[in-house]
Amino acid sequence: MVEVHRVPALPKASRSRAWTDLYSEKIERASATVGDAEHPLTITTAPIGPVTMIRLDGCNGTIQRNADHIGHLAEQTYSFLLQLSGTGTFSHYGQDAALQPGDFSLCNAGVPYGYASDGPASLMLIRTSAGTIRDHLPSPEQFCGRHLRADDGLSESAAEMCRGVFDQLAAGLPETVHNRVARNLLDAVATAFAISFDDLITSSAVLTGRHARVRLFIEENLREPDLSPGLIAARLKVSSRYLRMIFAAGNETVSAYVLRRRLEECARQIADPAFANRTITDIAFGWGFNSAPHFARSFRERFGQAPRVFRREKLGLPPTVGKSVAAAD
């Protein structure tokens, strides 16, 4: 049965709380904000066999799911994300996908993620269990956060099928064909990913799977100050040399990856009005840094400006306010 849920017309702060509550109830626990524009916010759910199709309309802010939201998952789930209209940035597994209409990405609900849109945007989630998705896309972790563009391979056909199936469900698709249609839908989207990311599949399956597990471990422990290549190797029961080999195919060392991800998460919170009352030092230490000078220096190298200036520009604060709010630079 297709269900439509709406956020009522409320003041901005109340709308953000209502959007958070609705998203957490109908999809999964997360924190959400809304922009200044008062576009209608709706979530439409449409189950079909082992899949739930979810449409979000009116997105014009942020959705953040962190380790506190995740807690203990009774069942691991994955969602293909399809940008229907507008634009948005999906951040997951250390990657940022700038999504245009027709673009896909893949989300593991057991790992932190973020979605942000500056204007009204609509997106669709094709959601299913870990066991089901592996029947169509083995080792799905390696595709999480990847950006599948609308003009890549069969992605346009897959997107059209997603829209068509959703419309048919709204029109009353007979339940007798739900399971078959769901399998075909997952096959279509998974095949689009497989064709466009053929290099991931044809590379060593063992190394690719290990790389995904290492990135997952890093994401889950990014806030730990002691997170290091040695600790990662010990926890995952691999040698330091093998850990370096896993990352050799990329352009980053393990340490560089950890530093980049910490800086990216710090930057997001520094630029988020919801964290305006927290000092930059608190934010940095909350993401595993233990030296304010080292953080400030690394931040400048990464983003080209001091954290205090970055916050002031992102939040539109006058210089005096920026200095009072941000103590680390």
Q: Is the pLDDT of residue 214 over 80?
A: yes
* CA-based max dimension of the chain: 65
d(CA 305, CA 313) in angstroms, rounded, equals 10
- State the pLDDT at residue 9: 83
Q: Is the pLDDT of residue 85 over 90?
A: yes
Neighbours of 310 (CB within 10 A): 22
- State the pLDDT at residue 324: 45
Q: Which amino acid belongs to residue 42?
A: T
Q: Is the pLDDT of residue 243 over 80?
A: yes
Q: What is the mean pLDDT of residues 183-205?
A: 80
Is residue 48 classed as helix, strand or coil in its secondary structure? strand
d(CA 211, CA 56) in angstroms, rounded, equals 32
Residue 215 pLDDT class (50, 70, 90 cuts): confident
The per-residue DSSP string of 145-162 comes to T--B-TTSTTHHHHHHHH
Tokens matching residue 130: 């870990």
Q: Which amino acid belongs to residue 169?
A: L
Tokens matching residue 291: 């030296």
Q: Which regions of the chain carry the CATH code 2.60.120.280?
A: 3-197
* pLDDT, tens digit, 9 for 90 and up, residues 1-60: 899 999 988 888 899 999 999 999 999 999 999 987 678 899 999 999 999 999 999 999
CATH architecture for segment(s) 3-197: Sandwich (2.60)
d(CA 250, CA 329) in angstroms, rounded, equals 31
Q: Which regions of the chain carry the CATH code 1.10.10.60?
A: 205-325
d(CA 155, CA 89) in angstroms, rounded, equals 18
pTM (predicted TM-score): 0.75
Q: What is the mean pLDDT of residues 295-303?
A: 96
Write out the CATH class of domain 205-325.
mainly alpha
